[in-house]
Amino acid sequence: MLVVFIPIYIVITLAVGFYASRRIKTSSDFTLAGKSLSTLLVGVTIFATWFSSMNVTASPGLFAEEGFVVLIPYIVAGPLCLLFIGHFFAKKLYEMDLVTISDFFSIRYNKRVELVISILLVFTYFHWIAAQFVALGVLFNEVMGIQLSHGVLLGVAIVVIYTYIGGMWAVSWTDMLQSFLIVLGLIILTVSILMETGGVALILANKPEGFSTYSPAVVFRNGRSL
């Protein structure tokens, strides 16, 4: 079933990009969707950005091995950063009519500082974006038998095409679709797991020692921790 569903999803995603291109009239439409995104679309886009493939494919394994402590960076740290930036900076930056955060440094300092900041920001995103494409490559490999490297290139091509054609409109609309499928898939997966394992109580009854710890251990020499 997945072998059929994935190509259909790819076609729908590209179709969304082509449809979104009809709303691109200016550079502001492309980069900022003309600042016309609704609160719902902005929220969904933030969710899809933060709830990435790492959370779907990697975090569950870490959670099973380490327990609740691994959730702290995702449940506490991430939202706190977003709330902090939103409360103290977002409104003022929005009123400055910026396209990217680098534009602020050009206005506040000069073009040279803007260039340096832009380069630094590019490097900070390498690991994040690479993780998404590797996850896509793994998906294509496991479900469709496509070689991992080819799967990564296919994922890159899909994202670049619909983003290049539809800009932020395409990104936000595809994020809406992806968020819906993520939530739906997690609900179905949760119900299936609970039915197979006998419920949450039975799962927690067999949890390893330290699973419910919320603070990380302090590691000392010789592997001993307190």
Q: What is the pLDDT confidence band of residue 225, given thresholds at 50, 70 and 90?
A: very low
Q: What is the pLDDT of residues 117-169, one digit of tens each?
A: 999 988 888 887 888 888 888 888 888 889 999 989 998 999 899 899 999 89
**Where do the domains of the chain lie?**
2-6+36-178
Q: Are the C-beta atoms of 59 and 70 separated by less than 8 Å?
A: yes
Per-residue pLDDT, 217: 59
Measured on CA atoms in the order 43, 48, 52, 56, is the torsion positive or negative?
A: positive
How many C-beta atoms lie closer than 10 Å to residue 169's C-beta? 25
pTM of this structure: 0.75
Chain mean position to CA 148: 20
Q: Are the C-beta atoms of 159 and 14 separated by less than 8 Å?
A: no
Per-residue pLDDT, 161: 92
Q: What is the pLDDT confidence band of residue 220, given thresholds at 50, 70 and 90?
A: very low
Higher pLDDT among residues 19 and 71, named by residue? 19
For the chain, the straight-line distance linking the first and the last C-alpha, in angstroms and rounded, comes to: 49
Residue position matching structure tokens 């490999």 = 141
Measured on CA atoms in the order 193, 195, 199, 204, is the torsion positive or negative?
A: negative
Beta pairing partners, 153: none
**Mean pLDDT computed over every residue of the chain:** 81
For every residue of 14-61, DSSP letters joined together read HHHHHHHGGG--SHHHHHHGGG---HHHHHHHHHHHHS-HIIIIIHHH
